[in-house]
Structure 1
Amino acid sequence: MEELIKYGEKFFDELEIAIYRTRDASVNIELNEVSTSALRERVVTIIRGLKDKRLGVSIVDTDDKKALRDAIERAYKMSRLNKPDEKWVSLPLPGKYRAPRKMDKEIKEVSPDCFVELAKESIDQALQEEGVVVAGGGGGAEWRESLIMNSNGVNVFQEGGGAFFYIELVGMKGGKVTPGIFDFDARLSLNLDVESVVKSAVQKVKWAFNVERSKTEEAKVILQPWALSSLLNYAFFPAFSGEKLMKGTTPLMNKLEETISSDLLNVYDDPLHELSINPIIADDEGTPTRKNVLVEKGVFKGFIWDNYWANIKEVKSTGNGKRNFSTGGIGIALHNVVIENGEQEIEDIIGEIKHGYLVDSFQGAHSSNPDNGNFAVVANPAFLIEDGEIKGSTVFMMSGNIYELLPSIYAISKEQKVLPFGGSMVVPSVAFENVRIAGK
């Protein structure tokens, strides 16, 4: 590809070529049956070129060299139509990369048949429980390869992949229908613990058959990983973007080294964390990734940056450039958020609660406002805790501000869950006290 860079330099002051190859084996479950299985392979090449600070982009579904030459020329023609970006500084320079994680090459060759068998086993296991319906689910493995090169000398290739399985159950018995109950597993290997996924979901369905009323009150609330991650992804994490800092739209402006949470909370972004299913050594611009501490013992420690906004701020990129495959552009994003675990088992945290709630999932988290931290969500399914035991399912509204909620953390579970959706995350259950809820 070096000759393509040289060819592009005839047209551009700076040029970037990014080639992505993906192989995806998957299966879907619908209403107690395996509905579809598929194997998809794709190649996408994205050309970004700058001429007189005018950006030109071309996206093609091939890595054929002749086609890429044509794409470079098209990108140049597009650049001549665009206005110059006077804020532009340069594409990234080469950097030092961390040692890559060892990858399981079985993921690269796995057939969808493997996940069809896992799906059938999970369905059979779930249906052994009376009144349980397998509403949906699925599994799969994705293998990714990328080559990022630019005219400043960046040249980095990386590969890897992960596997996941999830299931959604609904309980139907005695005229009662439970909410959908969701559970999952994700790993850097094919050793998925499907049995535990189904067992956990079935247990929650059993709890959900007994419906309890919630009331408007202040109570202890435990957010399980899926609920917690959805709330933080929409109400909190966008505030760490350096772009938002530069535009003045983050609540964290002028908060560096200030306490924003309970001192139990430690959050960082690290794609090479031992549980990460996104172990990349470079971001989508070829900048080396690293561990970026966001919150340490409740104290805000810093923003994340891509190359563009870091250059404007005159700081170093933190390696958080993420490609938009629709536009070819780069934005700021987290790779693998880790919320550090605590010392207590989740059963012990539940066992210490005289009256409170366990929340499995939120509805409406996407409507949260990251520019001020406000949120309004429905906890569903949620479970009532009385005298240290789960008594049944319930539903309630929970609204407020994330910066008022985080200081009320009083316990974090030892167990962590790897979340494969919406970006990789490693998340424990987190308990809050004096949470205001509105019963339904």
Structure 2
Amino acid sequence: MTLEDLLSNAYLALEKAKSRGVETAEVYIVYSEKKGVELHNNKVNRIYTATDAGLGVRVAIGRKVGFSYTNILDENFIVKAIENAISSAKSIPEDIYWMGLPAKEATVGGDIYSPKIAYTDISKLVEVSKTMLSSAVEDKRITVVYGGSSTSVNSKVVVNSEGIEAATRSTVAGVTLELVANEAGDTTPVVFDLLFSRVEVPDYSIVVSKALEKALKSLHPVKLEKQEIPVVFTQIALEELWNFTLMLSLRADAVATKRSPFHNLLNQEIASTNLTLIDNGILPLGLYTESYDDEGVPRRSTTIIEKGILKNFIADTYWGRRMGLKSTGNAVRTSYSQSVRIGFTNLIVELGTTKPEEVINDLSYGLLVDGLQGAHSSNPESGEFSVVATPAWLIQKGEVKPVRGVMLAGNAYELLKKVYVICNNVEQKGHLVAPWIVFESIRTIQR
């Protein structure tokens, strides 16, 4: 299905809404093509190709806003979705904060579309996944719990009654691997690594090598003696913590409703002076880079924290206007079946100059953490968290030894002021583009 096909359906929907007396309407259509191979328990478990398409429509009648969707791009179903959205709008109270849909703006970035990914044959993914599997289990101590490779091609259009016409096509490919190791009766926790690319299927050997190293270095754990120690967060661990705390509290909806502890701290110091955070929706080769957000507003770069000072929040059109701000191009949808919400794109931590090996050699007693269990139960309003660090390793002047059952407890927002070292080894994991970060001290409890 081409972008022209999607635009044709979008304008059909807009016209059908207008013919029913609706002057304010927005149509969002997405079409995705996915291919992949899944590994499970040392076997190829599933080989799949799938397509999905759907339309979401938002209408406003005065200040009453309704939403509906359909997963069938046929005129009758499109009309039904519009009528359902109109009925929804008529049945709900007015939203006194509603100020309309966004208007058209010039874009500042471009999409990332790779024919190399788009035309990758499923046989290539089978080959990659089988090679990952065979490479990992060459070591008889290793079990592949889960893994695989995949590609995705996503086409998206947004049109509205204010003149927006946004059409994007993007690609992404990824490889993942989850392992456990067993030796002499000792079994490690699950460790994993992953790599995604916007231009080609990533080098699976990097993922295999890193996952194997983590698994084998997690065998035969030692005890942790101290309780308040420096902790090194890898990109994976930091993304898991911030995804359920900081990334939620820096959104305009949390700020406007005073659910964010930062709602009255703009232009004040909230972090160490060595910490700068930038949300960059137009980052070259970023995993969440595209020309438009899911309202058709151009993506852009927004400095959130600059040398410890809180400078901005991210916003979509509705919450931006409610706060007297412009949209920062951060409207997202998890599906055509959902209306917009606010979300980060590529959240960049400005790099430091310290190499990771320098941290390992210099720390007299610390903890290296590559994953968190229970981060989803953190409190985004207070910042409080209590998580299990897994996998994790004790660092002692260049020596790295595995530890297990270590709980970390603290406050994610207080940790912002305890950023001790920022390393220089940038990687993107999820929405976070960052190096390792060393926090001065976190309370640890070993069960």
1:269 equivalent to 2:274? Answer no
2:87 counterpart residue number = 77
Kindly provide the CA deviation profile for residues 17-37 of structure 1, in whole angstroms up to 9, marking residues without a partner as x: 111011111111111111001
Structure 1 residue runs of 5 or longer lacking an equivalent are none
Matched AA of 1:240: L
1:181 counterpart residue number = 191
Is the CA contact (8 Å cut-off) linking 1:275 and 1:426 kept in structure 2? no
1:415 equivalent to 2:425? Answer yes
2:141 counterpart residue number = 131
Shift of 1:83: 2.3
In structure 2, C-alpha distance between the alignment counterparts of 1:254 and 1:86, rounded to whole Å = 23
Kindly provide the CA deviation profile for residues 359-414 of structure 1, in whole angstroms up to 9, marking residues without a partner as x: 11111111111111111111111101122121233331111111221222121221
Change (3 A) 1:391 1:189: same
Is the CA contact (8 Å cut-off) linking 1:22 and 1:142 kept in structure 2? yes
Shift of 1:118: 1.1
Query: Sequence identity of aligned pairs in percent?
Result: 28
In structure 2, C-alpha distance between the alignment counterparts of 1:268 and 1:56, rounded to whole Å = 33
Mapping for residues 389-428 of structure 1, pairs under 5 Å: 389-420=399-430, 424-428=431-435
Shift of 1:257: 1.6
In structure 2, C-alpha distance between the alignment counterparts of 1:216 and 1:126, rounded to whole Å = 35
Shift of 1:326: 7.1
1:5 counterpart residue number = 14
Kindly provide the CA deviation profile for residues 67-99 of structure 1, in whole angstroms up to 9, marking residues without a partner as x: 323332332233222222222110111011123
Is the CA contact (8 Å cut-off) linking 2:409 and 2:442 kept in structure 1? no
Is the CA contact (8 Å cut-off) linking 1:216 and 1:436 kept in structure 2? no
1:433 equivalent to 2:445? Answer no
Instruction: Give SS of 2:435's match.
Output: strand
In structure 2, C-alpha distance between the alignment counterparts of 1:316 and 1:105, rounded to whole Å = 35
Change (3 A) 1:116 1:261: same
Runs (4 or more) in structure 1 with deviation over 6 Å come to none
In structure 1, C-alpha distance between the alignment counterparts of 2:339 and 2:224, rounded to whole Å = 46
Aligned with 1:46 (options 27, 34, 56): 56
Is the CA contact (8 Å cut-off) linking 2:103 and 2:162 kept in structure 1? yes
Is the CA contact (8 Å cut-off) linking 1:161 and 1:277 kept in structure 2? no
| Deviates further, 140-149 or 425-434 | 425-434
In structure 2, C-alpha distance between the alignment counterparts of 1:362 and 1:433, rounded to whole Å = 18
Aligned with 2:32 (options 12, 18, 22): 22
Shift of 1:216: 4.3
Mapping for residues 94-243 of structure 1, pairs under 5 Å: 94-243=104-253
Change (3 A) 1:6 1:341: same
Kindly provide the CA deviation profile for residues 303-357 of structure 1, in whole angstroms up to 9, marking residues without a partner as x: 1111111222222111111125375321111122112222122122111112111
Matched AA of 1:6: E
Kindly provide the CA deviation profile for residues 132-169 of structure 1, in whole angstroms up to 9, marking residues without a partner as x: 11111122111111110001101110110111111011
Is the CA contact (8 Å cut-off) linking 2:360 and 2:396 kept in structure 1? no
In structure 2, C-alpha distance between the alignment counterparts of 1:220 and 1:203, rounded to whole Å = 23
In structure 2, C-alpha distance between the alignment counterparts of 1:84 and 1:33, rounded to whole Å = 55
Structure 2 residue runs of 5 or longer lacking an equivalent are 1-7
Change (3 A) 1:405 1:314: closer
Matched AA of 1:53: R
Cα RMSD (Å): 1.7
1:328 equivalent to 2:323? Answer no
2:5 counterpart residue number = none
Q: How many residue pairs were aligned?
A: 437
In structure 2, C-alpha distance between the alignment counterparts of 1:306 and 1:296, rounded to whole Å = 21
Instruction: Give SS of 1:99's match.
Output: coil
Matched AA of 1:5: L
